[in-house]
Chains A and B, each alone.
Chain A
Amino acid sequence: MKRRCWAAMLLLGLLGLMGLPGLTRPALAAPDPNNSATWIYSFGAGPIEDILMQAASAKAAYGVSVSSEELAAIILSVTWPETQGGTSKTPSTIVRGDQGTLSPSPMTMGRSDIPKVRSTNVYLFSNDTTSTQYRRAFWHSGIGAWQLDGAGLGRSLMADERISTWTGGGKAANEIARRYKYAEDRPSTYPDKASRRQYAWGPWYACRLDNGYNIKCKDVFNLVYSASTNRLMVVGETSVGRLGGAVMTNCNVPWQTIPAYCTHVDLSQAQGARDGQFWYSYPDGRWDTAGNPTKSPLASPFYVVSDGTYEYRQWSDQAPKDSGYATVDIYGRRIYQGTSAQDDRVSGKWTQTEVVTPY
């Protein structure tokens, strides 16, 4: 009994010493696939199912060898760094609830598209000028959990399709699966899964190894996927749905007599992470003393509708609180498919009138 007592006291003493400064703390335990309480990252519960299905579809379409679950993990790993930016935590210190682990909002809107970064970003501002008095009639380009951009992978998708974890997530799934397969088919250059994943993440800056982020996509992958059990380790957040707060509805449009399908995008209703420093603060944008934007405005509520060729985004005065501009209607449109699909940053797309009204 004495021996057990001494052993217990020794153990307690050691545990006490561990709390003293100057001694190394043990690393946080890795997520356990059989214990969801240890999981770190969250994603919308329904959207997780979307990605699992789209991963299975992309796997079948492009013949990647990894399982659907592993491919889903590769696809999801992009979203936290892309939507929530860098973090001061490291892979061994980050815990659930930290910035960067929250459920990405499907309505995440990019705020870095300002003319100072690229001159053609001026066309995202209404009337093609940063001097517009209607700042919040702003045409976001990087949209959604994968930040699909009209200059790149999001060119043929409308705003609500990029928001949707089904369609936008499906597009990300296809693009990642094709690149993974490309790397898989060149084992002398991409000899292992890690190098193939890194190749598949090529379109996303947040996944780059030299981006300076403490936690990159490769780190997220190791924390959200259990290779031993082939299982996703992601907390399903029931408050975040496929559209992240956007609402499918119907709208009156001039080109048809019956109401058209449209989507109402109200960013104040965004579900999921709204990190104040990065995505949802400063709704009018941030501006320097010379009147140049340093962070883009955040769009006030708008409708998205298609006529089959053009994507329209309408800021309507039907509810003045909606657009924020009583008695002013503004819409922008751009070709999103068919002949010469256009980048979001196309000039001359703005008109001050109303073509789309709620049904």
Chain B
Amino acid sequence: MRGRPLSILVSLAGVTMAAIPLLGGITHSGQAQAMAAARSRVSLPNLPSRHILDPNLFDEEDCAIPPPGEARRCAAKPDLANVPGTPAEVDNPATTVRSLRGFEGPHFAGEIAANNLILLPETISVASEGTWGAMGLVRNELPHDVGAVRVSASLYGKDGTLLEQASNSVPVARIRPGEPAPFRLVAQTDAQQVDRVEWSVTSGGPGRAERDLEVHRYFEVPLIAGSRPYILATGMRNLGQPFEQARMIIAWLDEQGKVAWLETTTNPDLGIRSDESFNMPDIRVDDPALAERLIRMPYMMWGVGE
């Protein structure tokens, strides 16, 4: 999706949100205790082993198959008590970058607690100039898949008047337990007229989409004025069932971890078979200011087969 970039991104932390129960992470103490008691681990959609991905290169123990005439060299399974630790390997979803089926990036939770769809307020950027708009992440903290997720924002003026309700669907058609997904809202209202925002997130059933995909970044090159746009090249491999069309959604995160930009690229070829590897159309950005920001920001990727 392309459009004018949000020129000024303002944290939602300063906006009163604590009273809105759908905002996970901002809780009253009673709610926090309830959430802590209800935490449950999710089954992460881990990528297959190297042997499954490339059986002609790696054996059943995931060791590299040697060339003819050479001996096998395989790492023994470690005595975990003697594996050296590294600084703070804590599973913090906000900072743990995961490469999973159909996903790559932070914020995929290994444990869920809210038993709801939640917004991640620390990821939400809001325009404070021009027309109101917002981008951010939701996360599925239900123990089952969800689809047809919509994010809505009711915009209120200083006098409490409802100015507008902005709403949009989340482009990831099926969101798995623990998985984040991006959204973008655009309104007509002048951002400076908005005093308060009430958010809601809804879903419509489990959703239908193939998510058993290996997503890859191929390369990323910066814009060169007059000769080359910013390019992000990506691809996928279908590890699951056949589907009609592949889509890659990418969200860039700024220095504060807020969603600063969203793009979607769609494979024009229809009818993707199992185990096919394919290229996605490039993400290309000609705006020098935006390109300069994008090349510096980490990003998240969602692969979806619909």
Give residues in A with beta carbon < 8 Å to B.
50, 53-54, 57-58, 61, 115, 117-120, 149, 151-153, 155-156, 161, 164, 166-167, 170-171, 174-175, 178-179, 181-182, 185-186, 189, 199, 202-205, 210, 212, 242, 248, 254-256, 258, 260-261, 305-310, 333, 337-343, 346-351, 353, 355
Contact = CB atoms under 8 A, between A and B. Distances in A.
Given A152-B218, A178-B277, A340-B46, 7 more contacts: A115-B296, A151-B217, A178-B237, A202-B279, A255-B83, A351-B87, A353-B84
B49 A260 contact: no
B145 interface: no
10 contacts: A54-B56, A119-B297, A153-B218, A161-B64, A205-B218, A254-B83, A261-B73, A339-B46, A348-B87, A351-B84
B232 to A, nearest CB: 11
Interface string B65-83: 0111000011111111011
A343 B53 contact: no
A167 to B, nearest CB: 5
B56 A308 contact: no
Nearest to A112: B221
Nearest to B229: A210
Contacts, number: 149
B99 A343 contact: yes
Contacts of A185: 273
A170 B56 contact: yes
Contacts of A260: 75-76
Interface of B: 44, 46-47, 49-50, 53-57, 62, 64, 66-68, 73-80, 82-84, 86-89, 95-100, 104, 216-222, 227-228, 233, 235, 237, 269, 273, 275-279, 295-298
Given A118-B295, A174-B57, A351-B86, A308 B77 contact: yes
Contact of B64 (A167, A186, A212): A167
B221 A256 contact: no
A117 B295 CA distance: 6
Contacts of A342: 97, 99
Contacts of B95: 347
A333 B297 contact: no
Contacts of A170: 54, 56-57
Contacts of A179: 277-279
A162 to B, nearest CB: 11
B279 A255 contact: no
B44 A308 contact: no
Contact of A205 (B64, B67, B77, B221): B221
A205 B233 contact: yes
A204 B235 CA distance: 11
B41 to A, nearest CB: 13
A307 B97 contact: no
A344 to B, nearest CB: 11
A53 B99 CA distance: 30
B231 to A, nearest CB: 8
A155 B64 contact: no
A116 to B, nearest CB: 8
Contact of B78 (A261, A308, A338, A349): A308
A84 B99 CA distance: 30
A346 B279 contact: no
B57 A167 contact: yes
A117 to B, nearest CB: 6
A333 B85 CA distance: 10
B76 A155 contact: no
A338 B49 contact: yes
Contacts of B55: 61
- Candidate in B100, B237, B269 with the most chain A CB atoms within 10 angstroms: B269
B220 A118 contact: yes
A348 B110 CA distance: 19
A292 to B, nearest CB: 12
- Candidate in B55, B57, B80 with the most chain A CB atoms within 10 angstroms: B57
A173 to B, nearest CB: 9
Contact of A307 (B50, B62, B75, B277): B75
Q: Which 8 A-B pairs have the closest CB atoms?
A: A255-B78, A202-B279, A178-B277, A261-B73, A306-B75, A203-B218, A307-B78, A340-B98
Contacts of B86: 333, 348-351
Nearest to A353: B84
A189 B233 contact: no
Nearest to B73: A261
A203 B233 contact: yes
Nearest to B221: A205
B222 A341 contact: no
B163 to A, nearest CB: 37
Contacts of B228: 210, 212
